[in-house]
Amino acid sequence: MRGSFLSRRTVQRLRQLLICTAGSVKIKLVLCCCIAFTVIALLSRASGFTGWTNRSVALERLSIPRKGYAIVMNTWKRYDLLKQSISHYSSCPGLESIHIVWSEPNPPSDPLKKFLNHIVQSNSGHERQVELKFDINKEDSLNNRFKEIKDLRTDAVFSIDDDVIFSCSSVEFAFNVWRSAPDTMVGFVPRIHWVDQSKGNNDYYIYGGWWSVWWTGTYSMVLSKAAFFHKKYFSLYTNEMSASVREYVTKNRNCEDIAMSFLVANASGAPPIWVKGNIYEIGSTGISSMGGHSERRTQCVNRFVAEFGRMPLIPTTVKAVDSRNIWFW
């Protein structure tokens, strides 16, 4: 009887020991799997940590569309920045053509044109040939960046400043987002407007910058310094939008991007789409860093509301994110 009891206790202890051992093995297996997953994820993302100059990672690129997009780049006497930007973007796989908006009093120099053409041809490769053109303007106006371009070969336009860099994978992702909603603006730099309650009515609006977007999670514009839109809006901006809006932009040297946001929203009846992307600003600070910038932009918003006869901008909280490049989404 006593021997039977001891045997039973021995069996129970062995069973408990086996259960604990099995549990420990399971925990170790889970930990090993987590460590392995982390190492693989870090290795797959390591190339992204080097910045915008890495353009050879095939896994980060979407499939090249048969009909791509044109870049329309605004520039002004910043030739080193122009060279850097053209060198970068000319290697993006979906690019069909580059149009440089030139508003300087003197035409581009032959050495500059020769250098840029060489860079574009070198980056184009054998499978595609990117076209490079200078769109020469006699008048210095911010409206020039939205002049109609008769020989555009694509419907999609990527409007970009010469001092702003996004990775090719981010641009290709934004292009594919735009293809799902080609009547609206798709861009990387969101802004917001809201009603000024202190005025006691709903007819006066305030322009909000990035921190307002960050705080509220809401936006109603994406700036044309980095945005996709349909080429038809060039014609609408130049030929059908109120001339007084363009005159206001020329006189104040500001707010052409807000005017385009008004135009697209008014024509489409849809909000823009903000695409998440890392921005690399390679130039010095611009007019947005000057004192009174937000106040001047607020004046623009209210002036354009009066010109359009209503507030066409539509607030939204939607953000497009490339889930392949993040762990949690």
Beta-strand runs (E) in the chain: 69-75, 95-102, 131-136, 156-161, 164-165, 186-187, 190-195, 205-208, 221-222, 226-230, 273-275, 280-281, 319-320
For residues 147 and 246, is the Cβ–Cβ distance under 8 A? no
Q: Is the dihedral of CA 85, 74, 72, 305 positive or negative?
A: positive
Pairing of β 69-75 and β 190-195: unpaired
CA atoms within 13 A on the CB side of 246: 17
Phi and psi of 99, rounded to 5°?
Answer: -120, 120
Given 161, 162, 163, 257, the catalytic residue: 257
Per the structure block, which two tokens stand in for 306? 């009066």
Which H or E run includes 305? helix 293-308
> Which distant-in-sequence residues (6+ apart) come within 8 Å of 291 by Cβ?
none
CA atoms within 13 A on the CB side of 184: 23
For residues 144 and 103, is the Cβ–Cβ distance under 8 A? yes
Q: How many whole angstroms separate alpha carbon 90 and alpha carbon 130?
A: 7
Residue where the block lists tokens 């960046």: 145
- Per DSSP, what are the bridge partners of residue 98? 71, 132
Catalytic residue flag (residue 80): no
Which residues are the active-site residues?
A: 257
